[in-house]
Amino acid sequence: KAGVTQTPRYLIKTRGQQVTLSCSPISGHRSVSWYQQTPGQGLQFLFEYFSETQRNKGNFPGRFSGRQFSNSRSEMNVSTLELGDSALYLCASSFPRTDSPLHFGNGTRLTVT
């Protein structure tokens, strides 16, 4: 069974630009969550999607947005990039229960210069 696939693995962007990250969940998983990982803040929850609807949202500014498609694949978008957005962005898929284990991809490393 293929794991969670995130593309691209690495991205370098300039301040003010926007970026779109992609996530393909494990087959059969309909819930997709996104986390931002930084050395100082650890893993912080961005949002969760289930059946193309945002089910939960973390405490991030509106520049961070996401969506989910009918095949459960998900994208997240960050507009007007800031230096502080440099991080590892992790996508995780699961069955849609809060006690269902999250299965993480290897992340997209975003560097903003």
Partner 1 sequence: GENVEQHPSTLSVQEGDSAVIKCTYSDSASNYFPWYKQELGKGPQLIIDIRSNVGEKKDQRIAVTLNKTAKHFSLHITETQPEDSAVYFCAASGGNTPLVFGKGTRLSVIA
Instruction: Write out the residues near partner 1 by the rule CB under 8 A.
Output: 4, 33, 35, 42-43, 45, 48, 55-56, 58, 90, 92, 98-99, 101-107
**Cβ proximity to partner 1, 4 vs 80, nearer residue:** 4
**Cβ proximity to partner 1, 11 vs 92, nearer residue:** 92
Cα dihedral sign for 52, 71, 66, 23?
Answer: positive
Rg, Å, the chain Cα set: 13
Distance, in Å, from the CA atom of 99 to the CA atom of 19, rounded to the nearest integer, reads 31
Cβ atoms of residues 90 and 43 within 8 Å:
yes
**Cβ proximity to partner 1, 15 vs 57, nearer residue:** 57
Distance, in Å, from the CA atom of 31 to the CA atom of 2, rounded to the nearest integer, reads 16
Least separation in angstroms between CB 72 and partner 1 = 17
Least separation in angstroms between CB 42 and partner 1 = 4
Least separation in angstroms between CB 48 and partner 1 = 6
